[in-house]
Amino acid sequence: MKRNAPCLQVVLIVAAPLGSPALAQNPAQISRGKSANCPSCNLFKADYSNREMKGRNFASARLRQSDLSLSVMNRTRFTGADLRDVNAYGTVFSSANFSVADLTNATFVGTYLDGSTFKGARMAGTNFSGAEMSRVRGLTQAQLNTACGDSSTRLPRGMSIPPYR
């Protein structure tokens, strides 16, 4: 059985059919998300870096390609959110909920994730190098097999993660 290589990034360009609406960012929703809950919002490419945004609700939001780096997002709900290609370098996500979120190709390098929930999250190509994950919930070895990390990634006892290449 051949396994897909973790952390192999592939760029796929898909053209929208003529007449279909574009999924560009929504500046009004991005602005609202800086100070309030924004479930199901289109926050594509939002810059939420270096912010304190504790206890927010971004369930089912589209945060694809957003910058969350060096922020504090404790107890934030990302349930079912699109977090593909997100940069969350050094972010604190204590007790955040990533259940059924799509974290494909996201960067969680140096993040603090203890107490966070990952039940059913997709994490193909997600980089957890240096992340603190020793007390996360809902995480399976099958999920980790599609992600990558390094020797400083802290995982729950008995779990492992493929090395970043």
DSSP H helical ranges for 34-151: 141-145
| pLDDT in the model for residue 20 | 37
Q: Residue 5 pLDDT more than 90? A: no
105: tokens are 């190709």
| pLDDT in the model for residue 133 | 98
DSSP three-state, residue 29: helix
Domains, the chain, with CATH or none: 42-165 (2.160.20.80)
Q: Which residue has the higher pLDDT, 165 or 17?
A: 165
Q: Which residue has the higher pLDDT, 18 or 71?
A: 71
Give the count of beta carbons closer than 10 Å to the beta carbon of residue 77: 22
Give the pLDDT band (50/70/90) at residue 10.
very low
Query: Can you say how many angstroms the Cα of residue 101 is from the centroid of all Cα atoms in its chain?
Result: 7
pLDDT tens profile 53-79: 999 999 999 999 999 999 999 999 999
